[in-house]
Amino acid sequence: MTAGTLTRADIATRIHERIGLSRNESANIVESILEHMSDALTNGQNVKISGFGTFVLRDKAQRIGRNPKTGVEVPILPRRVMTFRASQAMRARVAGK
């Protein structure tokens, strides 16, 4: 098994093969779903896909960091970060159980 990257085109091709929609329709569906997910995250909503996982937004407060080379303290500005938490079903599937 080789590690690779799953692309939008790969997903669209799979939809085309499994459902029988045209390649263009399949690509439009993929784009629409990704756009909807991006919009939700941009608006501060978490995105949960049952059986797959959840994209979670967290607001991190300002804190003091340290430059590891010089030891100088610098402020790290507040920011919003996104994490992904795989569902139990996905974890089990990836682990091969």
Q: Which residue has the tokens 């990836």?
A: 94
CA atoms within 13 Å, Cβ hemisphere of 3: 1
> In the structure encoding, which two tokens stand for residue 38, read together?
């991006």
Q: Among candidates 25, 85, 35, which has minimal Cα distance to 57?
A: 85
Percent of the chain with pLDDT over 90: 94
pTM above 0.85, yes or no: no
Strands 63-66 and 73-76: antiparallel
The domains of the chain, with CATH numbers, are: 1-45 (no CATH), 46-97 (4.10.520.10)
Contact 77, 62 (CB under 8 A): yes
pLDDT in tens, 33-54: 999 999 999 999 999 999 999 9
